[in-house]
Amino acid sequence: MISTTNKDMLEWLDTHIEKSYGNFIDGEWKETFSGSTFPLYNAANKHQVLGYFQNSTEVDVDQAVEAAHHAFKSWSKVPGPERGAIIFRFADLLEQNAEELSYMLSAEQGKALAESKGEVLRAAKEARFCAGEASRIEGDTLPGERANVTSSTMRQPIGVVAAIAPWNFPVVTPVRKIAPALAYGCTVVYKPASATPWTSVKLMQLLEKSGVPKGVVNFISGSGSKVGTPLINHPLVKGISFTGSTDLGIQINERAARRLVKTQLELGGKNPAVVLDFDNAEDIAKQIVPAAFACSGQRCTSLSRVIVVKDKKQELTEALLKELQNIKVGPSWQSDISMGPLINQQHLESVQEYLSAGIREGAKLLYGGEVLNTGQFADGAYMQPALLDSVTPQMRVAGEEIFGPVLCVMEAEDQEDALDIANSVSYGLAASVFTSQFSAAHQFVQESEVGMVHVNHGTASAAHMPFGGWKHSGFGAYSIGKSNIDFFTDLKAVYYQY
């Protein structure tokens, strides 16, 4: 029996699907010059077309960048508090439209409806923080070397920013890029992932309703080769904020470096949960499992490795198994599910290949991993969350980003060995450490090679804290917090003689 909430979502979808959507350029909805569109399907129902979106080309990119460049001349001169007021209104509109955005998000991406609503509300929080930052674009006044000279520094917006977002968080990630750009006086050309462009249409509508002037934010849908590449290569683009795979991030950085253009890159992760000691294994498992399997494990900050000292391994593994059994897989419109489908069949096959590779290399599958493809699961890319044991640092599953619902358990001899294993990968995004010993926690915080450390809890970030990684997990200024100022503005030194 379908609950009232679930029925609301399904009824809403019945009356809102199969529409065509244009690009949003210079305040107008426009069809691409190519005249071509592509369909978007429900992640949990591959037969249901959610909408049709523009298969844009370089011509559309150029038009959008020109519009943003023209709008920058006036937007950059709008006082910061006024820009902030617009972003505050946008945050309010996100909350007021949270239900509709959640329906759209769950349909195109597949995550549980409760997760989707949480994402929308998180986006509103981040937008509000950025709105406040518009009034805090600070410079410094420094003592002069000469009696009649004053010295100061100031911040100025860099210009047109290319914002390129992934498919796993199609609401919060674009807001994470667009809101700070607006706060600091930049303009934006935004490209969503082709797998999740639907919620982006709603975001553009809410930005327009909040009072963002024409051309300040522009939206183009299409492929990476026909939209993304000409966008990052465009001579009027002065900064590129990208969230996605490390390989693609490196390619973008190489192209940007040839033009000496700023980049802000949020890339992959292979995040460890290092467990040194505990009083209650179930408490630790309740922190690790949600952090590993939220968004079906398709999250750059997902915990993917549990590194536990050997005398605690069996007890913790049993607690993880118990907690995993509470995960219920199903379509997003079912209120009692805790994990939806993966984004598509191709990605499911990739995750399954990693799982098979781990078993071939000697890992033991303790739980889950099977593909679900009958009954209600027939129309989506579903699998049971998997727990692998006996994983060693040499295995592919221990070093490569799987980006799916697979958690690996690894044994460490002691604290030093656990730290070495945690740091042994090329990624350095986030890590959790679980211990009651202050000295052990402090050592891990100091010596872990990651951008974000969580002590005694899962990898949950805050809406006002800088977000970013080390090594192959990130490059450039951290996002979310006040560190955004280092990407969206340039520093200028000023000397006044009087």
Backbone angles phi, psi at 431, to 5 degrees: -155, 150
Residues noted as catalytic: 266
b/e sequence 246-257, b meaning 16+ C-beta within 10 Å: bebbebbbeebe
Q: Are 43 and 340 in contact (CB under 8 A)?
A: yes
Say whether 53 sits in a helix, a strand or coil: strand
CA triplet 416, 406, 286: central angle to 5 degrees? 70
- Nearest of 118, 102, 188, 197 to residue 463 by alpha carbon: 118
Neighbours of 29 (CB within 10 A): 15
The C-alpha angle with vertex 96 and arms to 90 and 100, in degrees rounded to 5, equals: 110
Distance, C-alpha 313 to centroid of its chain: 31
**Residue that is written with structure tokens 């937008």 in the block:** 127
Residue 226 has, within 13 A of its CA and on its CB side, a CA count of 15
Joined together, the tokens standing for residue 314 give: 């069996």
Which of 322, 311, 314 is closest to 285 using CA atoms?
322
Contact 449, 427 (CB under 8 A): no
Whole-number Å distance between alpha carbons of 173 and 166: 8
Q: What is the DSSP string of 145-167?
A: SSTTEEEEEEEEE--EEEEE--S
Closest among 178, 180, 172, 18 to 102, alpha carbons compared? 172
